[in-house]
Every structure is written in structure tokens, then in C-alpha cells.
Chain A
Amino acid sequence: MGQYVLRRLLIAIPSLLGISLVLYTVLALAPGDPFGELTTNPNVPPEVAAALRASFGLDDPIYLRYLHWLVAMVHGDWGFSFVSRMNVDALILQRLPTTLYVIGSAQLLALSIAIPVGVYAATKPYSIFDQIANTLAFIGFSLPTFFTGLLFILVFSVKLDWLPFVYTTDIKGTGIHWVLEQIRQAIMPVMVLGLFQAASMTRFVRSAMLDVIRLDYVTTARAKGLGQTKVIVKHVMRNAMIPVVTLIALQIPAVFGGAIVTEQIFRIPGIGSLLISSILSNDTPVVMAVTFVFACLVVLFNLIADVLYGWLDPRISLR
């Protein structure tokens, strides 16, 4: 087992190198620079933007820039943002708590809806409950978050005036008031993201359950005279959850990566909005850092999912 993990980690190194090389080249080949606003400003002569490009090393050949980046990265130096001239790691760490809070809550919400609904629907396939759950799930994942987000804003903020739609990171007040406000402003984004996730996950849980529920050992358990709850929870769910756990493990990097669209709509200062604004302003070091961290997390959680799989189902051996 230990050997397996070690080997997988060693294999991860060349693949991460490959990923970073591809990412860097693509970003470096993309035209443009972060100084666009300078060029039309009559106060700023064109030489200024050109000098800035040169001083940030944007005019160097790509392989040199990549090597510089790689060497610095190995030394733990993530570089600095061209746009804010701040260290990239500080910039990302500042954004992480908000992203974890909002996207994490959304994932939890999705799970706490998807598992019970999916399981219950699978125990009574094609019943009224199953039909309704299915219909809602289809509606849920066919509506994109930018649509539901705007819809929620219109209903809950504009018409009813219940919830704020601009997310603030510095809520005034302390103690219980602070907690309540923190929850209040997260309700809409968490609902939008959570319901979207829940919809597809419900379908997944349901089909995983249906696969298992038909198996002979379940019939045996029933024949033994075990109660419905016990059969479902102890015998069916445990086995049906194996693919679901994998799915969840692979979703976790996304929790760190943020949700670009939802963060933009609700002005949540998370990793997703950092990524999109950096892409739009061609702030290469930030884009590079965010995407690379994301790649690392995907590789890591893939490994964790594989290990978990072996643990949950001993028939799968890890060699």
C-alpha cells in the first residue's frame, strides 16, 4: 500500500511538469499584456507600457521565462502579480477562505440533498416521488448557474428585498450577528451552486443504488427477513456509495478552484473570480499559479480516490 502511494506520487512528478509546461506555453503564446488601459491614456506615452513589459520579462523568449518560473516555483517563490504587484501566494491565500466557505457549503448542501433523495427514489423506482425527483433533477441541471443566479437576485433581492446580492467580506458586528449575516449573504450563492450540483448528483446516486438493489445478495438479505431500512442502509447503500465517494473525491479540487460564474454574479471574492479577472487582464503569474495549484489538487485527489476505492472494496487490489 505504502509502496503503491509512493509510486503514484513519483509518477505524478513528470505529469505535473508536463502540465505546467503546457499551461505556461499556452499562456505565454496568448497575445496581449496587462497594460491595455495605459495605451489609450493620453497621459502615458507608449514607451512606458513597453518599458513595463520589458521589466516584467514579457519580451524574453518563452523557454527562458518558463525556466525562470520553474526554478522560482521549486524554491517556493510563486512570483508576483503584474496587475497588483503583490506576491501571488498572498493573493491566493487571501481568497481561499471565502471560496472554501461558499463552495464547500454548496457541496455539503448538494450531498445532503442528493443522497437521501437519490436513495429514496431508488427504493421506489417510477413512483410519484421518483418521477418528481427526476423531473426536478432534470430541470436543475439544465438551468445554468448564471440564469438561476440572476433569477434568485431578481426574486429575493429586488422584488422581496430579503437578501443582499453583493457579497461583503467585512461584515460589521461581532458574535451571533456576524454569524447570521455571514449565513444570510451566502444563502443565494450556496443555493444556486448547491442545487445545480445536487441535481446531477441525485441522478448519479439513484442509478448507483438501482444497480446494487437488483443484486442477488440484496434479495437474500430480504429473504432472511431483515427490515427494509436495514437492507437499504447496511447492505445496499454501503456498496452503492463506492462510485459516489470517488465522484465526491474528484469534486474536491473544484471546491478550491472556486466557481467562476457564480462568484462573478454575486461578487464573491474567491479563487474563481481571481482567475477570471486575471485571465481578462492577462496577468500570467496569477493564472499560472491558480491553474497549476488546481492541477496539483486534481492529481492528488485522483490518488486519494484510488486509495479510498481499494479501502472501500477490498476486491480491488492496489499494486
Chain B
Amino acid sequence: MLDSDLRTMIDEVKDGRMDRRGFIQRMIAFGLTAPMATQILAVGGVAMAQSPATYPPTKRGGGGPLKLLWWQGPTLLNPHFATGTKDQDASRIFYEPLASWDIDGHLNPILAAEIPSLQNGGLAADAKSVTWKLKPGVKWHDGKPFTADDVVFNWEYSTDPATAAVSIGTYADVTVEKVDDLTVRVLFKSPTPFWANAFVGAYGCLIPKHLFAEYKGAKSREAPNNLKPVGTGAYKFVEFKPGDLIRGEINPDYHMANRPHFDTIELKGGGDAVSAARAIIQTGEYDYAWNMQVEDEVLLRLEKGGKGKAVYAVGGDIEFIAVNFTDPNTEVDGERSSIKTKHPILSDPKVRKALSLLVDREAVQKVIYGRAGRTTANYLNGPGPFVSKNTTWEFSVEKAGKLLDEAGWKPGADGIREKDGKKLKLLYQTSTNGPRQKTQAIVKQACQKAGIDVELKSVIASVFFSSDVGSNDTYAKFYADIEEFQIPMTQPDPVLLMRRYHSRYVATKENKWQGSNFPRWVNKDYDAAIDAAETEIDPVKRAAFYIKCNDLMWQENVMIPVMHRIKVGAISNSMRPVMSGWANDLDNIQDWYREATG
């Protein structure tokens, strides 16, 4: 039975798109007994400890070429400089972290000999340090041994501000020390229950000290190996053309048995998502394509050809509409949307509640996202233990109208509501992106029915998401009433996702709008819960704090969730990728294989 299919089905059962009986019947059709099928379901639903991915190949190599198609071409190959997932993926082909996140959001050891735990003494009881044991005998592609010095060096390299590393955020708050040649210790300033950030996942990829030591700091850009990676990964570097092509070949000395399966790897970049889907699903020129931001309808049509299909991985990425709590139209001390102001319309909880009743999530899913989205009432959608079950959502123009009536907004002559002679008019901004403009249209229509006049605005992504202080169109300045975008969850822990809305991170002119709390929502209970959660070691209590945070956001309607987005890739039929909603697509590249076609 195909692993990814099975997973998709289990997920379908989990959120009710397929019933248990249907699932079991399909399993029986594949030759499984009913009790076995039930067990699969139980295992799939309950998180397991370290699930090893099934990996049938019994020898290294022999899988032929692996051809990947990324519709944005990777532009650099140093994991510490990787700004986007495309560059992180490209670096990951050659470089490896100590551990990566697997399908279920558990750690899978890569360069680590084992995953630190309280039992094996890797984790300190006070949660102030973590000790990693490194796998012995690992060699860089040039034959030099991989040791604790390399690990410590990566921390030094990244945290040197002159290096201008992007990964500095991951390493700045920790100290790393060498214990012996194969042991390193990561020290935290305060108890840190989520310890698996440094050296794990995309920004955890390690570069060799012997080749980069000279290029730490201001000379970082000059390192010849920025473009010619020498890593520990399953594939060795052959060729790189920025924005176009990366080629690699099998690493015959790879440190995991029988891996990798493919003899060569090629990552072609550029083009657009639809034609990438076509090159895999319809013509079979390539084996795997990433980030299929293609309407489900198109994918379904392409899949009819039978050469390939779309695959899904559930993580915690959330597309939402954020509500501005401050007034975007009044200037205070040279700053609009200042924390000193209150939004004239949206500071009323009833209006916010009405707004959330007007987002027809089911229509958005049906029309736009299809299999790539799930409706949700929560801002925090994973992993399982952190997901609130106390919340609900509904779409009702009537109820919204009633709430607006209660709030004093009465329908005017032109159908637009007004109060004290002021019209109920909102500016709704987002980045330029097909699905987002469609969502805007759906929400606008519902709002119009309820008597809210919504003005739509879309800003090109490179401006909307920039940290350009000179531009008034950034999401952080939030010079609009509501705005929509997506925040991805790059690891299976809510700490970074939820911390953003602590009142100490409010975006203001003073901090050059670098604060991550862009709705400028201030809530003492929320702050207290976040502070408590960040040092809480008991996992159950910690989860309860985050659930409380989520529920507070839901009650207050700070964020109106639009869609819990699911990662979509396209594969040719025989490909068996290991995709995780909690990691980048290539984070488990060593485990990919192709099913022998008979």
C-alpha cells in the first residue's frame, strides 16, 4: 500500500471527509483485514514516538536520476543565507542538520546519533540545556571527518552579525559548547521547553568549519564554497546555476545504510506552478514538483491522465484575516495605526464578531483550495495536542446583521450601514496572489449583503512583506482595516507562532515596525499565558496554555482564520517522497525512493 496515499486517507478520516467504514472498506480492497485497517487508523491518529519511514530499497543507488522541478529557481546554496524555502531546499540536498522533522512532527536523527530525551540524559531536567551526541564516522564530501567543532563553528558563524546570516534568529539566544569530539551542548538562558530549534530543520543545516572558518564575518560573501557546497548529505555537488539548475550525484560514503536510492539528483527552477504540475502529472518529464499553488480543479483535470498525482502533507500553516485594533486613518506622532489610538469601528467586539460570521470558509475551500485546505475556527492548527476543541465557526449574514444592529450600525438609504452619520466602510488589503484575490471577492460579497462597504486592495508580495520602512504598504505597518496573508508553521511547536501577539511585540514606529504583533492587539491574559507557556516544562500544562491563547484570539476575533492550508506537491506515480507538513519538502531527501514498476 502506498504510504502517501494511506496518509492522505488517514487524514481524511481524521477531519471527517471520509468515514471510518469507507476507510476500512478501501483497506480490505487492498487485501488487509478489517482489524489491521482499524489499527492503521489508530496508529495514524495517535502520534507515535519516532516513526521510521518505510524504506524498502536494500542497496545504495540504482534508482536512476531524481528530477525535481521547483517553479522558483534556488539562488544560493549556503543554508545560513537561505531567505526562502527554495534556497533552504537547495542547500538541504548537500547539507544536513542534526535532526529533521518527520511526517508526524517527530524528530528524525540525521547527523545526531540519537534524539536527546530525559531518559538518555540529553535533556536537562530544568530545560536549560540539551546535549546532542553526534553520529560517529560521518565524513564531509571531501573526506574530512565531521566533529563537534563543526557544530560549534556553525553557531559562531551564524551569530556573527557581520556574516549577515539569515539563520541568526535561530542561534542568537543560545550558547553552544563542545563537550568532546562527538558531543555538543546547547545552553539556554531560561528554561526552554521547545529545545529543538538550533541545529534542527532548515536553519539547522551544518556547513564545514575547515572550508568556512576563513570566511566568517564580513568576508562571508567571498567564500568559494558558497556556490560549491561540501556537506555531509546523501548527494554530492556537481553543478549550480543560480535561478536555474542544481545537479548532484550519489554520495558513495553516505552515513545511512542503503541510502540514497537515486544515482543523481537534478533540481530545475523557474517557470510557473501550473506548467510545473503539467510536467509531472501530465507529461511525466519530471518526478516531483513543490508547492503546487494551483487550483484544485486544474490538478484534478491533470490527474485524469494517470501519469502522476498531487500529494498532501498536513502541517499548521494558517491563512487568516487580521483585524486592526488601531486607527489606520489618524496620525499620531508621525505614525498611523499607532498603538495610542483605537480603531473607530473594529474596536467594538460585536463588529469583529460580525466580520468573522461573514467569512464563508466553506465557499473559500470549495472554490479555491479544494484538497489543499481545511476549514477551521482556530489560529493554531497543530500539532494535535495543541489544537483547541472549544471553538466553532459559522457563516451567517443574518446573525452578522443582527450583531451590527446591536452595535448601533443601522442600514442607510444606499444599503450601507451607518452610525452617527459615518458609513461602515473597511479597507481590506492582501498580497497580489490569485487565491487571495478570490477570497477577497468572496468576503466582500458577503459583507455587502450585510451592509458593510469593503474596499479591496492588493499589494505586490515583494512590497507587502518587505521590511522597507519607507513604504506604507507593508503588512507590518497595517495602514488598512483588515488584511489577509499566511503565516507558515515551520516546526511542530506553537512557540514562535503564538509569541508574535504578545503585547511587547507590538509593531510601532519606534521599533521601525519590526514588532511581530501587527494587529496591535493587547490582552493581559494572553501575555500571561504566553509568558507562562514559554517556561512551562510540563507538556500537558504547556499545551493548555497555548490552547487558552488560541481561544482568547478566537473569542476576541483578532484573527479570522480563512483556511488551514495543506502542503501540496506533485509526484509521478512511482515516486515515494517523504513529505512532512512540519518541514521543507527536501528535509528527508535521504529517504526518498522510486517504487520498482513491474
Which residues of A does B touch, CB under 8 Å?
A: 31-53, 55-56, 58-59, 80-81, 83-86, 91, 94-95, 153, 157-158, 161, 164-166, 168-170, 264-265, 267, 269, 273-274, 277, 280-282
Tell which of B69, B269, B475 touches A39, judged by Cβ atoms closer than 8 Å: B475
Q: A43-B490, A43-B491, A277-B270 are in contact. Are A34 and B243 (CB under 8 A)?
A: no
A34 to nearest B CB, angstroms?
7
Q: Which residues of chain B from 55 to 95 have any CB-CB distance to chain A below 8 Å in the complex?
A: 69, 72-73, 75-76, 78, 81, 83-85
A277 adjacent to B73 (CB under 8 Å):
yes
Besides A32-B463, A166-B69, 11 more A-B contacts (Cβ < 8 Å) are A39-B475, A43-B202, A48-B169, A53-B467, A80-B221, A81-B75, A166-B271, A166-B286, A168-B245, A168-B268, A274-B243
Contact B491 A264 (CB under 8 A): no
Residues of A within 8 A of B466 (CB): 31-33, 35-36, 39, 49, 282
Q: Is the CB of A51 within 8 A of B76?
A: no
Residues on A with C-beta less than 8 A from B164 are: 51-52, 55-56
B125 to chain A: closest CB distance in Å? 27
- Which residue of chain A has its CB nearest to the CB of B494? A42
* List of 8 A-B pairs having minimum Cβ-Cβ separation, nearest first: A31-B471, A36-B465, A269-B244, A42-B496, A46-B514, A84-B75, A32-B463, A37-B84
The complex places the Cα of A133 from the Cα of B529 at a distance, in Å, of 76
**Shortest beta-carbon distance from B343 to chain A in Å:** 23
Closest residue on chain B to residue A43 by CB atoms: B490
Q: Which of B251-302 contact A (CB under 8 A)?
A: 266, 268-272, 275, 278-279, 282-283, 285-286
Q: Contacts A32-B471, A37-B85, A41-B488: A165 and B476 contacting too (C-beta < 8 A)?
A: no
B239 within 8 A of A: yes
Q: Are B268 and A267 in contact (CB-based, < 8 A)?
A: yes
Q: Does B427 make an interface contact (CB < 8 A)? A: no
| Residue interface bits B394-436, CB-to-A below 8 A is 1, else 0 | 0000000000000000000000000000000000000000000
Contact of B244 among A51, A158, A169 (CB under 8 A): A169
Instruction: Tell me the bound Cα distance from A59 to B468 in angstroms.
Output: 9
> Within the assembled complex, what's the spacing in Å between the Cα atoms of A264 and B244?
11
In this assembly, does B241 line the interface, its C-beta being within 8 Å of a C-beta of chain A? yes
Cβ of A158: which chain B residues have Cβ within 8 Å of it?
A: 278, 282-283
Most buried by A among B271, B469, B488, B513: B271
Listed A/B pairs (27) with beta-carbon separation below 8 Å = A31-B463, A31-B468, A32-B468, A39-B476, A40-B488, A42-B496, A42-B500, A43-B490, A43-B491, A43-B496, A45-B169, A50-B512, A51-B168, A53-B467, A83-B75, A83-B83, A84-B75, A86-B242, A153-B275, A161-B283, A264-B270, A265-B275, A267-B268, A269-B243, A269-B270, A277-B72, A282-B462
Closest to B472 in A: A31
Interface residues of B in 489-525 (CB under 8 A from A): 489-491, 496-497, 500, 512-516
Residues of A within 8 A of B84 (CB): 37
Residues of B within 8 A of A (CB): 69, 72-73, 75-76, 78, 81, 83-85, 161-162, 164, 166, 168-170, 172, 197, 202-203, 221, 226-227, 239, 241-245, 247, 266, 268-272, 275, 278-279, 282-283, 285-286, 460-471, 473, 475-476, 485-491, 496-497, 500, 512-516
Return A165 CB to nearest CB of chain B, in Å: 7
Complex interface: chain B residues within 8 A of A52 (CB): 164, 166
Nearest A-chain residue to B221, judged by Cβ = A85
The answer for the CA separation of A59 and B471 in the assembled complex, in Å, is: 12
Instruction: Choose among A49, A157, A161 the residue that contacts B467 (Cβ–Cβ < 8 A).
Output: A49
Q: A33 to B468, Cβ gap below 8 A?
A: yes
Contact B285 A33, beta carbon cutoff 8 Å: no
CA distance A81 to B74 in the complex (A): 13
> Which A residues lie within 8 Å of B85 (CB)?
37
